[in-house]
Amino acid sequence: MKTRRLATTGVALVAALGLGLAGCGNETGADDPAAGGSASAAPASSAPADALGKLTAAAQKLNEQSVRTKIESSILSGGGVMDPTKRTGDMEMSLGPQGKIRALIVGDDAYLKVTGMTGLPDKWLHMDATKLGQNGQLNLMPEGDPGGANKMIQSVVKVEETGSGSFSGTMDYTKSVPNDKDIAALGDKAKAVPFTAKVDGEGRLTEFAVDTSVLDASLGKMTTTYSDFGTAVNVSKPPAAETQEAPEELIKAFGGN
């Protein structure tokens, strides 16, 4: 379980499933333009302003339109579609022999269905998305930062442009998930996690790859790609007969309120 939690506590799952890796968003709204804060969301960093600025702008475009995501790593894979402007999404993640997790977001309602894992309900588990916590591992679209762009950038401590539309640098996971005990236990290793990124001709983030092997050798590289910008995202709530409320213990275990 700890290895899976480490794998899903990075930034690459921002728009893929949000089991923690994507758990992104600012708590105060200081970096949310709609809240009157700075639009740059740039952290204090030794990175050149031009490289950081370009990556910041590219990441924030994930909050502007619908997108299809795909994630690949040694222990999990999956993806789906999300529309941050409407706070809707349909994502699925396979954990290999551990089973599959599918998540639906419809505004303030979140639904989770787990298959292949013993001891869990067969029905959809309904959760109030407003109670999942800004950094909660089940919060796919945090208020004020539905695409997870702000926290992604806040975790960057070093970045350079290595070519046209290509970037590399390091992230500090303790900044993106400050209350995660597993990450805190890693000490300095969690403060220098290598990443690479790609941006298309329209300045949109299209790939974000994190070398999570520095956290655990079995994790390898986790790569998330973003494509089909503007794709239609139509998500419906599951039938009431196929739904039950998620246990409070589950929500709290993943950082909810």
CA angle 142, 146, 248 (to 5 degrees): 30
Taking alpha carbons only, the member of 140, 173, 168, 142 closest to residue 155 is 173
Radius of gyration of the CA atoms of the chain, in A: 17
139-181 pLDDT, tens per residue? Answer: 556 555 656 666 777 889 999 999 999 999 998 888 876 777 7
Chain-centroid distance of CA 193 in Å reads: 16
Residue located via tokens 């949310």: 32
Percentage of the chain modeled with pLDDT above 90:
23
- Residue 256: pLDDT above 60? no
Q: Distance between CA 195 and CA 253 in Å, rounded?
A: 28
Reduce the DSSP state of residue 49 to 3 states and report it: helix
Taking alpha carbons only, the member of 106, 39, 68 closest to residue 243 is 106
Mean confidence (pLDDT) of the chain: 74
Q: Distance between CA 191 and CA 217 in Å, rounded?
A: 16
Domain residues for 245? 2-253
Tally of structural domains, the chain: 1
pLDDT of residue 207: 92
50-103 pLDDT, tens per residue? Answer: 899 999 889 888 888 999 989 888 878 888 998 988 888 898 888 777 788 888
CATH number for the domain that contains residue 159 = 2.50.20.20
Residue 190 in contact with residue 93, Cβ under 8 Å?
no
Backbone region of residue 231 per phi and psi (left: phi > 0; alpha: psi in -120 to 50; beta: other values): beta
Residue 20 in contact with residue 254, Cβ under 8 Å?
yes
Structure tokens at 101: 């997790």
pLDDT of residue 127: 83
